[in-house]
Structure 1
Amino acid sequence: MKSKNKTLLLFMLVFAFINLNGQSHKIDSLRIQLSKSNNDSTSSNLLIEIGKAFEMVNPDSSIVFYNNALLIANKNNDEKIQAIAKRHIGNWHIDKREYDLALDNLHQALKIALGIDNKFEIGRIYNSIGLVYNNLNVFDKAIEYSNMAVDIAAEVNDSITLSYSYNNIGLAYYNRSIYDEALKYFLLSAKIDELNGDIKGLGQGYINVGLIHYTLGNTDQAIYYYEQSIKIAEELGEVIDISIGYNNIAIIYKQLEQYDKALVYLEKALAIDKGLGDKGGMAICYINIGDVYLKIGDFNRARRYFMQSLKIWDEIHDDSGTATVLYYLADLNISLAKKESHNVEVRDSLLYAAIEYSEKSLEIGKRRDYLPAQNSAAESLKTIYALLGNYEKAFEYLEIYVSTKEKIINEEKIRSITDSELKWEAERRQLQIEKLETEREIDKLELIRKKQETKQQRAVIIMVSAGLLIISVLLFVLQNRLLYTKKQNQVIDLQKKVLEDNYVRLNEKTEEIQAQNEEIEAQNYEIQAQRDVAIQQKEFIERQNQAITNSINYAKRIQQALLPDLSLLDEKYNGLDSITDSFVLFQPKEIVSGDFYWANRINNHLIIAVADCTGHGVPGGFMSMLGISFLNEIVNKQENYIANEILNQLRDIVNITLTQAGRKDEDDNPILDGINIVIAVIDIEKMELQYSGSFNPLYLVRNNTLSILKTDRTTIGVFVKNKGSFTNYNIKLEKGDTFYMFSDGYIDQFDESGSQRYKYSRFKNLLLSIQNESLQKQKEILYSTFEKWKGNNDQIDDITVLGFRI
């Protein structure tokens, strides 16, 4: 599978290179023209064209050129360029999913364009605003602005904007489940793209038409249109559209229960989305992969992928995505509940969690007028209440399910959709005829234009003749005035001397003003030079910041790769049992974490640890990665299963490795690097647990009583004297024992007002209050309690809470 993904990525890179190489030549050519330009208006237009070219090569750089074009336009009060630049800046923010900033810039552009009555630009701005509202799921406004764009684009014959606007309207109707209207507008857009020879737009049209066929259950037709869109995307090197096509085909194979094929296409799509950094695409892939694993009964993997998707939807504030993944989480809990039918308590807890997910999904669907979310959530709630024996509630949600399903699709809409598609096919056959008729119309218009020119020439001859007549009259008047002027010469001679004196004084003032002007120009030149230096420094700092951020994000990926999958604790090994269940709540304060957790299984021994390293962010992250590496070395290679001996060796390796001993910071304070840790070794066969620790305690809950298992009050690190061996403690285990390991981040968190910390007492009471819940439910409660306590306050430290049940 990996080799196939690599081949695919190489294939995609070839197409991308061809496209980008062409853009690079275009950019070079535009830059040469810019360097030769001595006209501000020309320079502004060239900067915008360079920005558009950079959107294909390096989108983050395009904003620099749009801003520079806007600066020149502002200096010259060039309102036409101001509106164009502001629109492109708004579109750039749309691509970044920064919709508030996008609307702000687009409304500024609209105000300018309306002020100068630039209808061509007004239409394109309306189209962009409609796209923003489509992305925000505010479909009424999306249709309103897109229709305004259609009216103006048709008036000024802007076929590109007309196609985009029809597509926007189609998407809005699709998301509102009005499929006959959606297909009508998709086909209108596709027809314009075909007339214009816009292959890329036609490919997008195929995707949209395929989407409607999939929704209506026409899988063969859907696959046909998706494959057509992929062919076009491959020809153009449009990697994003290829990913969309793969994802859509995978969904169909999933529906046909061909899960291996579905996973192949989803992994191809995910590889492309990760390479592009497309968070929305990644989130969709995670949902679909999770659903495949749900259908084949791999519930742990399914939940992991659903939670990854939910995290991304929350980050990018996409309600429709959040509603969708909540439905799938509910479906997962329903499947688990059916599996636990023999255990009523566990089954009911899973079903109540599913109710919470479904109600959230239904609420979003109603708020956003998003019928698919309402329909899916109602179906889940109907099933859940039937399983709980509450048939009155089940019937209530059955009615909602049926009513929303009827709104989504009915026979009349299917007939309308079929008619629309047949009509489009017929219209395509008439394309050549329409083009010939268009050419004849153009010839007619050319004849009309020539006749109009002849009329204009006659009008010019008449105007010139009239002008000559007027000049003759003026000459006659001037001749008469000349005689009068001669009589006035004597008076003029007397005034001449006065004028000459004034002229001398005027020259003196002129020289003084000229000297001042030269001084001002010199100052302006110096200010300009300083501004250029400041811009260069700003760009350098931005590049440095981006490089630093990229490095930290890479460190995050390394840290996440090192952290273990706790499912290894839950699985049987060579016939030996495992612990019943486990969870970990891992929430870094910054990109990388100074906390880490570690786990491994060797034969009948389970080894689990939670550690808190000095600091957080990058310094803490590096310490945590060192700690993980050292534990792998001690346990995996040396096969040491004695808890205190593991910590003794860890302390020795840390002291040797951290060679900063004696080094001081800029304030002449010693640098103290260290690790607080608790580690437990479980012998599954003997039902015994041994533990040892450095500051971090271990909590045991047995028979609803919480015991604090204390550890040694010494840390692992530099400037710490060796106080001998860490203490090793042994406990005989009982079924149902629940243990908790944690760092101090949860305990030390301030509330929203910043007046008090959470503290150990609240933490212990919280743990006791949730003992009847499953560990996955406990994790959710711990997370929601923390977020509620923190409110809008900042998280002050890294958080790790790990629990496991015997």
Structure 2
Amino acid sequence: MGLNKFNRKNETFKRFFHDSKNPRSIPGDEVLGLLVDDDNTLWIRTRENLSKYDNKDFHSFEISSDRFFMKKISKKIPIVKTPHTIWTSSDKGIYYVSTTTGAYGNITNINGTTIANPYVTALVYDNKQTLWVGTINGLSKYDMRRKTFTNFFHKKNDENSLPANSINYLTIDHSGNIWVATDVGLCKFNPETNKFITYKSDPTDLTSLSYNVVLSLLEDNSHNLWIGTDGNGINKVNLKPLKFKLYRKSSSKKSVPLSQNVIASVYKNNKGIIWIGTWGGGLDIYNPKTKVLINYNENSPIFNRITENHVHAILEASNGNYYLATRNGITIYDPNQNKFFNAKEYYPNVFFPKFENTRIYSLMEDFRHNIWIATQSGLHKFNINSFEVSSYYKNDGLCDNQIISLFEDDMNLIWIGTANGLNTYDFTQPDEFQTFIALGKDHPDANGEFKSLSNNYIYSINQGKKYYWIGTGSGLNRYNKATKKFKYYLKKDGLPNETIYEIQIDKQGNLWMSTNRGIVKLNIENEKFIAYDKGDGLQGLEFDNGASCLSSDGELFFGGVNGLNSFYPDSIYYNNFTPEINFNYYSIISTKKENKRSNIPLQENDTIVLKYSDKSLTIYFSALEFTNPSKNQYKYFLEGQDKDWVDNGNKNFAIFTNLIPGTYQFKVKGSNNDYKWGKEKTITIIVYPPLYKTLWAYLIYIFVLSGIIFLFIRIRTNKLRMDNQLLRAQQTASIKIAKQRKELEIKNKNIMDSINYAKRIQQGIMPTEYLLKHFFPQSFLFYQPRDVVSGDFYWFSEKKGKFFIVAADCTGHGVPGAFMSIIGINLLNNIILNKNIEDPGKILNEM
């Protein structure tokens, strides 16, 4: 209802409706077609009008459209542009408007030619002055230079004509082919050959159209054709060259009539003829030039008959014969006789081991013209010159009797792959087999290499310039003969699958391997794997052991369960279309119960804002290249967290948990199916911190901390001031004390001087020791006052032959005692010497 204009920036719509009172409004509300021309003018097709919109007003041109026409045209009317002209459909042929002169009109008949039908349903311009017109009854080619119509119609029993005359849609691809959508299928018209190729739905072929009623067509920028059907989905066709040629029996126009699509072996000879051994269908010999295929099986006429229909190996020997290995013996084809023989019939005098009901896995001719025969019950050697036969079994040194693969290296060493290990046979030591087996507890050395195989089931063996390559049931093994070490290549290293059936080495030395998940290439220089699957043109994902071949001209063949693929490694087409990355949406998981936000739309340069409680962020994106989207690769880089680009494989999403608060730049880029990388795109992610870590919180913290510091400094200052005042008081008291001390020291000195003087007086009045020794030579005198002076004293005198000796202790100590001792001495001098009292008792009483 009406016209809507979508603003991608703010994701809003502006609506336009018909207003009968406004002649400059849209002429009708049923919009059936839109076109933007080179001048960015929007052209709108409604039921009865063609209008152009100049970002202000609508300017309309009336077009005749009857009910029958509108019923056939359904809800879509084509509009196309050519230089200076806009074209659309009507019930009177093609309708045009000149963008330079404004002239308009219908074209049905011109220069004696007529449009296939005036009811036009589809238009497409091929940039070669040709307008292709689809009608309800045929296809018309309008030559603008000659101004003539050429018509094409359905012709009964002509598979190169239109499949039906009623045309629903037209488009032109990058190669100039016209694709025509009808009710009975899709067809491709080649203007150079004027031939149609029709594609229809086939319930037995999952790669065919899903439904025959095709309503719309679109070729995208990387040459994929999108096909819209009437109620049965969308189909996609890759119009680019396929990487691999396919040989398969099917309902397709390119079908090769193989007897059986399960391929067991393949060989291409020097004449370009392909020998294909099938799994139960016999031998198919196919000539790619003439496209002639001849089948030979166990029921074919004599001399065209093979011994059994499971052909597991094909060998062209040096004698010119072809040897075919089956489950019931060996068939030999002799080109000189153009006949097939059973080996025992061809060599009647040679005693072969019993090959009946025995599967033969592989055949190989060595430099001595021995044909080695690998069977499920032993290894045999047959010399095509001497007709000698030798057999080897587990008892002779082989790892197992079930022999799977054979290889001769450049030193003429025979490598024998078994179901339980690997052996080598040296012609210089014919009685010995060297053995390699997998050790259960083998550990890698410092270089990541092992002493043993990764697995004992040996599917294939080959030799490169430096190393031997061994395909096992558990990965690819590289063997270094110099160090006798193995290196393993597994799924974690890039293999799509670890079952390596066949190994072929191209002229550049790169390895090509068939697996249970397609074909994989190992670039020998950088050791990078490139995997190929059904989207690249493979017969399927599962391939067969023994079904591979490297032809003399460098063409590689790999057979699987649904056909045979071939290719030249140096001619593989690689998709050069770089994809644009697109942000889809994002989802957030929070710690809060109610906060799980999903599928939030996202565009380039948007900003995702996360709260601290948002613990998980998932960003979804896609590389807009649809050749094989499952193989598109992605890399992302979260600036602010990652140090380098993260290889995300084919996952189109990135998950981030517990992002630290801050601002991040999320960058992502994608590749197409062939690892062609596009430009990166960026969005911003802002993670807000919790409330207690916000700027305002930090400002509050600073304010509070500043207040605390200020208060602390204030209290500290006051305390220091008080301490200072106390210190000053103490200093004043100290000065006063020091002054008093000084005074005391002076007074003490004076007192001591007086006491010392008193000492001298005391010593001066007491008799000397000399006087005592004069009278008593054997005597001694010990006098030791406690202080400077003492109240103890001694006295001695001689009078008229009498000796008076006194040792006295006066009351008091120090100075008072000294004064008393002086008094005592004076009293003794007076009593004894002057008063002549000699009796001790009287002397004491006198004192």
Question: TM-score category by the smaller chain?
Answer: under 0.3
Greater percentage in helix: 1
Specify the structure having the higher radius of gyration (Cα): 2
- Please, what TM-score do these two structures have when normalized by structure 2? 0.20
Tell which has more relative contact order, 1 or 2 (C-alpha 8 A, sep 6+). Answer: 1
* TM-score normalised according to structure 1 size: 0.21
